[in-house]
Chain A
């Protein structure tokens, strides 16, 4: 791995957390050292794959032993409105002989085979720990394959042991910047073209965003990478503005697109009602600054006013049902404060919210929303989480799949809110969907029965 590149990715001037650090702290980078025997979470390769796999029409080829792809394929809920090539697992499945002799020839043959059979617009090749350890030159093979096969073959150099999932996502963005974006000039660039960065179309969330953009008159060139086509990402440099939905993953990509092609960006979120409006306004203002029709702003305000009113109206009936319910929010990915604001609006209370991956700015907003530090949690060991729920300190846990069973075993309602979730929660409709889901979880009749002891227990 290129240490200089990792250093550069860690020192992101576009990142508020990074800016707030001292020089020496900044040099250490933002990945926390992992503790053997007490670590949780995915690896660098996992992060790269999550951030790029939503490109639906390419072959995602994993160069490594079976664990890396065999244990993970078809496991993510990024939807496609096109084909399903991206969902099929492709791997060189390195055997012991490959490890002895080197895997480069096998990799080349694998790429050739994939290109011949599936004729994709590109092949993305993911390096893994074992490929890196035996010194396979993935970049070299990709270069040779690109030249001989006439199909772009792109190396994603993010082996698992290089660092965290978050670093992997950033390395994925770096690869797009280096090899993909700007390689195709589209015939139809328009004055209101935008990209959504780090939007992965989890459970079809783009369907909750695209109609809003369309009504305002904004054209989505591509999401990077949800439901994306390779050629659209290659033409993403012609967009007039970028919206970074998850800054952790792609803020560096946004900054570099600004430097290279002059595309301004804004960070925002489609989780929560007011946040959706802020994000839309931000986009419109960038576009208008760059010469888009002024009517865009008026249309945006009309859509925002109508959608906000509709959403609040849809949420109103839940106020009576959910007011006073206490939520424990434990997540890294979704920007916590935006969900908090919306749920507080209908009267729900927060007994805790994780700020593991929140920026200083995020924390400040959480503080002002909840009136103090008390609810901010950095780490919550599962044992303590179980105790809180078992003792009835919260009525509901909202978290990622990893802690699902802590809640369920404590016989506590649980709502899933991360990558692997099974519902889309983006935009105005998405917020209503989330509240509906919360209501269904809390109101389900099983809780009464499952909490009751068996008749023979006291």
Chain B
């Protein structure tokens, strides 16, 4: 049980928080033929776009309503309309995610109402689904925006299960924002290993996995199609990953009647075992041999790796469900979660196996680390690099953003295989920091 330290403070230093519109835009990156649009000033878009470009090392389609001082005061409906029509004409996307920012929300625009009028009077928009997501920057962080976008997509596009038709042998996946394209890819593989189809919403594994297409595409290429979202109601079961996906899972159940199950995490032996039982039941078949072997490999990795985790002090910072996953794995391997920070409060963080979780920024993490004394390893995004350099602590880059390393999109930490590899990577870093590095020259 952890104490949640949530003291409001006037100054955030080295922020851990990211903006919810960024999270929402990232969700739309996992839709095929999509182009999200921020309703705000052009900087709102530029900053979010640059962050995603640096992390994924891909071109990111993201537009702006380009609000000026005058249009902000007079109201932004005209800008929204002009932007939607321009995008529809130039890029012909299947879906536009219209995402509000702090700027539009502070003024208090009735964007949903405006959108109805705009859609009614513009023929140009007939071929494009416009999904509105209210994601003001001043409420929540990355997870909040991502979850709101997925919920809006379910509410806007999914259709109820047709009566008297058997569900398809298909599993709907609702991955949280802490799952990388590599994670989603692996999750789909596991589902398919049971002879089931998998549809992920959103699906970054087919849009931001790094492909070199043969033509120029101004929208996303790959990801969940609108048809796949529409027919989510025909799935046998929906699997949501991460507590922040609960509202989306509930919305899907309410809209389509598909039974849903929520996994708080898919990193760690027991957690993956639970997934295997669920999938085995849904498929009506035993766990396939390949996954049984993978389980064996993970058990062996735990046996080989536990020496290097035992008694070691680890600090983790990130969005609540990222912290939840990493924090549990570290303690399950015998490490101590000596410092933990999240940008926003989430009730389940009180269940983390550590003394305190601080809601705040990297500065708060630093304070906790100082109190804890020696910290052997920090697990956080690339923004932790400055504090790790100051204290000479090793940083394992994970989460978002990772702008100074290659392969962020493919880092896989779920399932038996992902957990196994994560244990190896963390274990190697801990080994190095402990004088176990056999390649080091003596003296």
Q: How far is the CB of B57 from chain A (nearest CB, A)?
A: 8
B18, B86, B106: the one within 8 Å of A70 (CB): B18
Query: Given known contacts A71-B47, A72-B47, A93-B15, is B42 in contact with A41 (CB within 8 Å)?
Result: yes
Whether B164 sits at the interface, judged by CB under 8 Å, is no
A411 vs B212: C-alpha distance when bound (angstroms): 8
Most chain B Cβ neighbours within 10 Å, of A37, A64, A65, A134 = A37
Q: A45-B43, A93-B15, A113-B10 are in contact. Are A65 and B58 (CB under 8 A)?
A: no
What is the CA–CA distance of A71 and B41 in the complex, to the nearest angstrom? 14
Question: B21–A35 contact, CB under 8 A?
Answer: no
- In the bound complex, CA of A144 to CA of B64 (Å): 36
A66 CB-CB contact with B under 8 Å: yes
Q: How far in angstroms is the closest Cβ of chain B from A455?
A: 16
Given known A-B contacts A39-B66, A42-B43, A160-B43, A88 and B13 have beta carbons under 8 A apart: yes
List of B residues within 8 angstroms of A382 by Cβ: 59, 216, 218
Question: Quick check: which of B77-85, B306-314, B413-421 contacts chain A, the rest being far away?
Answer: B77-85
Stretch at the interface among B136-144, B255-263, B290-298: B136-144
- State which of A94-102, A225-233, A243-251, A268-276 sits at the interface with chain B: A94-102
Interface of A is mostly: helix
Residue with the highest number of chain A CB atoms closer than 10 Å, among B53, B64, B85: B64
Assess whether B18 is in contact with A66, with CB atoms less than 8 Å apart: yes
Interface residues of A in 15-44 (CB under 8 A from B): 34-44
Chain B minimum-CB-distance residue to A3: B69
Do A68 and B43 form a contact, CB below 8 Å, given A73-B15, A96-B136, A96-B139?
yes
A37 contacts B86, CB within 8 Å?
Answer: yes
Enumerate chain B residues within 8 angstroms of A130, measured Cβ to Cβ.
Answer: 102-103, 106, 137-138
Q: A residues within 8 A CB of B90?
A: 37-38
A92 touches B43 (CB 8 A): no
Partner-binding segment picked from A173-181, A212-220, A320-328, A401-409:
A401-409
Alpha-carbon distance between A73 and B47 when the two chains are bound, in angstroms: 10
Query: Is the CB of A109 closer than 8 A to any CB of chain B?
Result: yes
B67 at the interface (CB under 8 A from A): yes
Asked whether A129 lies within 8 Å of B17 as measured between CB atoms, the reply is no
Cβ-based interface call for B205 (8 A): no
How far, in Å, is B66 (CB) from chain A's closest CB?
A: 4
Contact (Cβ within 8 A) B48 A67: yes
Nearest-Cβ distance from residue A444 to partner chain B, whole angstroms: 16
**CB <8 Å contact, A109 and B11:** yes
Distance from B287 Cβ to chain A, minimum over Cβ atoms (Å): 33
Q: When the two chains form their complex, are residues A61 and B11 in contact, meaning their CB atoms are under 8 A apart? A: yes
Interface contact A67-B44, CB-CB below 8 Å: yes
A90 at the interface (CB under 8 A from B): yes
- Report the Cα distance A424→B139, complex, angstroms: 40
A38 touches B63 (CB 8 A): yes
Q: B11 contacts which chain A residues (CB < 8 A)? A: 61, 90-92, 109-110, 113-114
Shortest Cβ gap from A58 to chain B (Å): 14
* Binary interface encoding of chain B residues 210-231 relative to chain A, with 1 for a CB under 8 A from any of its CBs, else 0: 0011011010000000000000
A121 to B308, CA, bound (A): 45
Cβ of B12 within 8 Å of any chain A Cβ, yes or no, is: yes
Q: A383-B216, A406-B59 are in contact. Are A70 and B83 (CB under 8 A)?
A: no
Contacts A45-B43, A71-B22, A90-B12 given: A36-B138 contact, CB under 8 Å? no
Distance in angstroms between the alpha carbons of A401 and B19 in the assembled complex: 22
Tell whether A447 is near chain B: CB-to-CB under 8 Å: no
Output the residue of B42, B63, B83 with the most chain A CB within 10 A.
Answer: B42
B46 with A405: CB separation less than 8 A: no
Question: A1 on the interface (CB 8 Å rule)?
Answer: yes
B72, A133: Cβ atoms closer than 8 Å: yes
What does the 1/0 interface line of A162-174 toward B look like (CB < 8 Å)?
A: 1100000000000
Q: In whole Å, how far is A204's beta carbon from the nearest beta carbon of chain B? A: 17
Assess whether A36 is in contact with B79, with CB atoms less than 8 Å apart: yes
Do the beta carbons of B22 and A35 come within 8 Å of each other? no
Enumerate chain A residues within 8 angstroms of B106, measured Cβ to Cβ: 99, 130, 133-134
B151 on interface, CB distance cutoff 8 Å: no
Q: What A residues does B69 contact at CB under 8 A?
A: 1, 132, 159, 161-162
Which chain B residues border A43 with CB–CB below 8 Å?
Answer: 41-44, 46
Given A66-B18, A69-B15, A401-B53, verify A409-B59 contact (CB < 8 Å). yes
The answer for the CA separation of A74 and B57 in the assembled complex, in Å, is 17
Q: How far is the CA of A331 from the CA of B218 in the complex (A)?
A: 20
B425 contacts the other chain (CB 8 A): no
Most A C-beta atoms less than 10 A away, residue of B13, B53, B212? B13
Identity of the chain A residue whose Cβ is nearest the Cβ of B35 in the assembled complex? A37
A120 CB-CB contact with B under 8 Å: no
Nearest-Cβ distance from residue A55 to partner chain B, whole angstroms:
17
Considering the complex, give the chain B residue whose CB is closest to the CB of A410: B216
**A contact residues, total (Cβ < 8 Å):** 70
Q: Please, how many angstroms separate the alpha-carbon atoms of A79 and B22 in the complex?
A: 27
Chain A min CB distance to B108 (Å): 10
Complex contact B64–A46 (CB within 8 A): no
Distance (whole angstroms) from the CB of B166 to the closest CB of chain A: 37
- The answer to whether A73 touches B14 (Cβ under 8 A) is yes
Q: A393 within 8 Å of B by Cβ?
A: no
Is there a chain A Cβ closer than 8 Å to B436's Cβ?
A: no
Least CB distance from B151 to A in Å reads 19
Residue in B10, B63, B103 with the greatest tally of chain A CB atoms within 10 Å: B10
* B13 & A90 in contact (Cβ 8 Å cutoff): yes
Residues of B near A409 (CB, < 8 A) are 59, 212-213, 216
B51 beta carbon closer than 8 Å to chain A: yes
Q: Is B112 engaged at the interface, CB distance under 8 Å to the other chain?
A: no
**A44→B68 CA distance, assembly (Å):** 10
Known interface pairs A34-B68, A75-B50, A88-B386; A42-B22 also in contact (CB < 8 Å): no
Contacts of B10 in A (CB 8 A): 92, 106-107, 109-110, 113
A147 in contact (CB, < 8 A): no
B278-298 interface with A by 8 A CB criterion: none
8 Å CB interface, B3-44 against A = 8-15, 17-19, 21-22, 37, 40-44
A65 touching B19 by the CB < 8 A rule?
Answer: yes
Whether A91 and B12, one on each chain, are in contact in the complex, defined by CB atoms closer than 8 angstroms, is yes
The chain B residue with its CB closest to the CB of A69 is B15
**Is B134 interfacial (CB 8 A cutoff)?**
no
With most chain A CB atoms within 10 A of its CB, the pick from B22, B41, B64 is: B41
- Residue picked from A43, A109, A382, A450, most chain B C-beta under 10 Å: A43
A386 interface residue (CB < 8 Å to B): yes
Q: Which of A392-416 contact B (CB under 8 A)?
A: 401-402, 404-406, 408-409, 411
List chain B residues, Cβ under 8 A from A95.
Answer: 8, 138-139
Closest to B211 in A: A409
Question: Can you sample 6 A-B contacts with CB below 8 Å?
Answer: A43-B41, A67-B48, A70-B15, A96-B138, A162-B69, A382-B59
In the complex, besides A1-B69, A90-B12, A160-B41, 15 extra interface pairs with C-beta distance below 8 angstroms are: A37-B63, A37-B65, A37-B90, A39-B66, A41-B42, A42-B43, A43-B43, A66-B17, A66-B138, A70-B17, A88-B13, A99-B106, A110-B11, A161-B69, A382-B59
Q: Which 7 A-B pairs have the closest CB atoms?
A: A43-B43, A37-B83, A37-B86, A36-B83, A67-B19, A109-B10, A110-B11
Interface residues in chain A, defined as those with a beta carbon under 8 Å from any beta carbon in chain B: 1, 34-46, 61, 64-75, 84, 87-96, 98-99, 106-107, 109-110, 113-114, 129-130, 132-134, 159-163, 382-383, 386-387, 390, 401-402, 404-406, 408-409, 411, 450
Interface residues of B (CB under 8 A from A): 8-15, 17-19, 21-22, 37, 40-48, 50-51, 53-54, 57-59, 63-69, 72, 79-80, 82-87, 90, 101-103, 106-107, 136-139, 141, 212-213, 215-216, 218, 383, 385-386, 403
